[in-house]
Amino acid sequence: MKILILGGTAEARQLANRLVGMGHDVITSLAGRTQDPILPAGGLRMGKFGGIPGLAAYLRAAGIERLVDATHPYAGQISINAVAAAQAADVKLVRYMRPAWEQQIGDDWVAVETAAEAADALPHNADVLLTTGHTGLEHFLERDDCHFVVRTIEAPAMELPRHASLLQTRPPYNLIDEMALMEREGITHLVTKNSGGGQTDAKLEAARRLGVKVFMIARPAYGPAHEVDSVEGAIEALALDA
């Protein structure tokens, strides 16, 4: 079976490696945002497709039989495009979506819909660990009455103002280090997206133990697809109607 994986996550790599090992012809597409990414087994395609028409044309031209959306839960437009392109090219779509984090006893969470809403809700003089990536960063940096530790894998294109500092690291993170970071920086608030998964959830446990308030940005809504929450589930779903 010839499979295109829209990747960029650890689970996408795991799925590609498994499928290649099973003898499938797998191509993983990466948006190219991360320099020096960890590469999966199989073929590789870098860059954008050119919207829904471009992705649908690629699916047809490459003879793709299955499309897997295993992008980040907040990847946005590509996940929306995948639904329409799969329908246009008559290709089965499987969406891998990590289970969302759920609030635990002792958590102090505030649910917000957008980065702009989170930025507006921060109190005056907040010391914030910001782990939301590049999208919407400008909303937070406008709050010059707060201090931000901006943690990203890649440095943002914009220059950070004096009230923000960059912490450029790559997950996974552990509880001891997350607690040390929050204590060292005097963090009072954590702003994050509900990405799910185990590589970055230590920050939530650290916030719980240290009494740090969490602003949790909700996941976007995508169109209909056969959705699974595990690599095994994705493999099973890909075999449907084979």
- Whether the predicted pLDDT of 71 surpasses 70: yes
- Once rounded to an integer, what is the mean pLDDT over residues 214-224? 89
Domain boundaries defined on the chain: 2-99+220-238, 109-217
What's the pLDDT score for residue 38? 80
Joined together, the tokens standing for residue 78 give 């590509």
Quick one: DSSP state of residue 192? E
CA 98 – CA 193 distance, rounded (Å)? 12
Joined together, the tokens standing for residue 43 give 């073929």
CATH number of 109-217: 3.40.50.720
What's the pLDDT score for residue 241? 46
Angle, vertex CA 123, rays to CA 120 and CA 129, nearest 5: 85
Q: Which helix (H) or strand (E) holds 45?
A: strand 43-46
**Structure confidence by residue, pLDDT tens digits, 12-69:** 999 999 999 999 999 999 986 666 678 899 999 998 899 999 999 999 999 999 999 9
Number of C-beta neighbours around residue 168 at 10 A: 11
CATH topology of domain 2-99+220-238: Rossmann fold (3.40.50)
CA 28 – CA 12 distance, rounded (Å)? 8
Query: Which residue is listed with tokens 């590589």?
Result: 199
Do the domains at 2-99+220-238 and 109-217 have one common CATH topology? Answer: yes
Whole-model pTM: value is 0.81
**Structure confidence by residue, pLDDT tens digits, 79-122:** 999 999 999 999 999 999 989 999 999 999 999 999 999 999 99
What's the pLDDT score for residue 35? 63
